[in-house]
Amino acid sequence: MSEDGKLSERTNCALGESKRAVGSCIVKTEDEAPGNSNCSPTFASRYIEGKVPLDSEAMRYLKSILIPLAVFSLLAGACGDDAGIPGSDTGALADAGDVHLDDAAGDVGGDAGTMEDAGDADGSTEDASSPGFPSQITTEGGSWEATVPAGGQTDVTLVAEANDVVVIRLEATGDQGSPGLELFRGSDRLVYSMPEQGEAHIPYRDEELGDGWVFFDGGQHRLAVSNTAAADARLKLTLECLDGPCFDEDDPGEDPSFEGLNGYALEQELRSDHGTHRSVSYERAREAMFSVIDNMGGTVEGVYTGATIQTMGVPDHTIFNTEHTWPRSKGAGSGDAEADLHHLFPTDSRANSRRGNLRFGVVTGPVEWSDGGSMVGPAMNGDQVFEVRPKHRGNAARAMFYFAVIYSDDIPADEEAVLRRWHTQDPVNNAEEQRNAAIEDVQQSRNRFIGYPELVERISDY
């Protein structure tokens, strides 16, 4: 597509569109040989044999020229712009893969050796081991490089704050590559840049690059990075913050003062701080969770087992469901408590069912069920408990502390002791901070135990 979003005249051999020559891709016309040209002298001999009788003197003469020429080309690795074959419309023969000389010279067959763009002799390519683009970035900015295959696309989750102003650029670092950028919010495409040549950028108009692209809504977005060329390309993605503040992973948002507060006084201040909370319906909360908050480029991961599902909306509840960290049957069955995203998480339905309303704890007896690191079984006191996999233990603990304070509910002492250990063992990370910010975009509230994890120890009894 052109930069203004209209279909361009650029054709792409990878999509089967015809033209005589595009780089190393040759497409047939009626008076040319059948099929796409490549580095194979077998193809060349077939083409000539289709025009000249096999037993003719001319055919034998041409074979006496072609076979030595083909062997020389293979040995020299000459499969580029200067390695033409007589009678062909082009001198650029590339990307052949394996070459067999069976039609022209009996059973002389085997691998062709090194071809253009074929990589090293061991079969690896120059960038095969290079890391890809990060799965998640923020509007704080940065620069990344990765190899994108021909016609390929990589999705990157981009986390922004409301009113951030940025410029995003994507360019090929070598001679090949046709970069493209698309920015989505949920399933809605906000802007795209698919130029016929040169770099892709957002904003897509050159004259707007100085002003930048404004994120009127914060939270998670999907940035689709593509290479529409017919060859693999090394692409460089650059994001620059022009105005903002832009995302700062060390800033948990509004900074209320909890200095000197402990116990009940701290709980009261936390509930007061929570007064900005905006009620949303349970349906709206689930939609936001599955399509934006926990959606990483079309993939949602279940917190208890690590199982994933491809979705851009609320999936079939028999496959994936919404986990109420504080069980519905114990106080989260209606109103804000039911729909509060700070304790809602996506999980596969089987794990969600096995957890039920069990308390969190450490399984010490025979394991009755386990998947992905989470398990069900008896605790030391004989009660059935649900033990969360290590990756999510701290998240679950901080969600429980949040719910207990905001909705003035109680956590049993033995469960609270386990949750305190989990809070310490699995500290807050960048992903949890970003989720906290994304939830604030929906319901205008934060879990302060994520932004200020030290507050956990200043309340002695939840």
Q: What is the DSSP track for 218-281?
A: -EEEEEEEEE-SSS-EEEEEEEEEEES----TT--SS----TT--HHHHHHHHHHHGGG-----
Question: What Rg value do the Cα atoms of the chain yield, rounded?
Answer: 30
Lowest pLDDT segment from 118-132, 316-330, 347-361, 418-432:
118-132
What is the per-residue pLDDT for 135? 82
Residue 16 backbone class (left: φ over 0; alpha: ψ -120 to 50; beta: rest): left
Rounded distance, CA 134 to CA 140, Å? 14
What is the per-residue pLDDT for 174? 84
What is the per-residue pLDDT for 163? 87
- Tell me: do 318 and 214 sit in the same domain: no
- Tell me: do 105 and 171 sit in the same domain: no
What is the per-residue pLDDT for 132? 74
Confirm whether 381 is domain-assigned.
Answer: yes
Rounded distance, CA 72 to CA 126, Å? 25
The residue ranking higher by pLDDT, 260 or 372, is: 372
Across 45-78, b (16+ Cβ under 10 Å) vs e yields bebbeeebeeeeeebeebbeebbebbeebbeeeb
Lowest pLDDT segment from 10-14, 80-84, 447-451:
10-14
The yes-or-no verdict on residue 375 having pLDDT over 80 is: yes
- Tell me: do 37 and 144 sit in the same domain: no
- Tell me: do 277 and 366 sit in the same domain: yes
- Tell me: do 410 and 270 sit in the same domain: yes
CATH of residue 234: 2.60.120.380
Closest Cα to residue 215, out of 444, 441, 2? 441
Contact 153, 226 (CB under 8 A): yes
Which residues are CB-contacts of 64 (< 8 A; sequence separation ≥ 6)? none
- Tell me: do 149 and 297 sit in the same domain: no
Phi first, then psi: what are they for 136, rounded to 5°? -150, 135
Rounded distance, CA 308 to CA 348, Å? 8
pLDDT band at 161 (very low <50, low <70, confident <90, very high): confident
The residue ranking higher by pLDDT, 367 or 67, is: 367
- Tell me: do 314 and 399 sit in the same domain: yes
pLDDT band at 67 (very low <50, low <70, confident <90, very high): low
Average pLDDT in the 238-261 region? Answer: 72
Confirm whether 218 is domain-assigned.
Answer: yes
Rounded distance, CA 210 to CA 230, Å? 32
Rounded distance, CA 371 to CA 392, Å? 13
Closest Cα to residue 143, out of 178, 177, 169? 169
Q: In this prediction, what percent of the chain has a pLDDT beyond 70? A: 69
Last residue within a domain, chosen from 243, 272, 301: 243
- Tell me: do 281 and 374 sit in the same domain: yes
Q: In this prediction, what percent of the chain has a pLDDT beyond 90? A: 57
Q: What SS3 state is found at 182?
A: strand
The tally of domains found in the chain comes to 3
Rounded distance, CA 126 to CA 104, Å? 33
The yes-or-no verdict on residue 233 having pLDDT over 70 is: yes
- Tell me: do 271 and 237 sit in the same domain: no
At 384, list the tokens.
Answer: 């059935």
Average pLDDT in the 387-396 region? Answer: 97
The yes-or-no verdict on residue 78 having pLDDT over 80 is: no
Confirm whether 334 is domain-assigned.
Answer: yes
Confirm whether 219 is domain-assigned.
Answer: yes
Q: Which residue range(s) make up the domain with 55?
A: 13-110
The residue ranking higher by pLDDT, 178 or 86, is: 178
Q: What SS3 state is found at 299?
A: strand
Confirm whether 126 is domain-assigned.
Answer: no
Q: Return the HEC string of 123-144.
A: CCCCCCCCCCCCCEEECCCEEE
Report the predicted TM-score, pTM, of the whole model to 2 decimal places: 0.51
What is the per-residue pLDDT for 159? 87
The yes-or-no verdict on residue 456 having pLDDT over 90 is: yes
Confirm whether 249 is domain-assigned.
Answer: no
DSSP, residue by residue, 300-330: EE-TTT--EEE-SS---TTTEEEEESS-GGG
Confirm whether 165 is domain-assigned.
Answer: yes
- Tell me: do 95 and 180 sit in the same domain: no
What confidence tens digit (pLDDT) does each residue in 354-371 have? Answer: 999 999 999 999 999 999
- Tell me: do 206 and 84 sit in the same domain: no
Closest Cα to residue 52, out of 101, 85, 90, 87? 87
Contact 446, 252 (CB under 8 A): yes
Confirm whether 129 is domain-assigned.
Answer: no
Q: Where are the beta strands (DSSP E) in 325-383?
A: 344-348, 359-360, 369-371, 374-378
What confidence tens digit (pLDDT) does each residue in 335-360 have? Answer: 999 999 999 999 999 999 999 999 99
For the chain, the average pLDDT equals 77
- Tell me: do 236 and 267 sit in the same domain: no
Strands of 369-371's sheet in order across: 359-360, 384-387, 374-378, 369-371
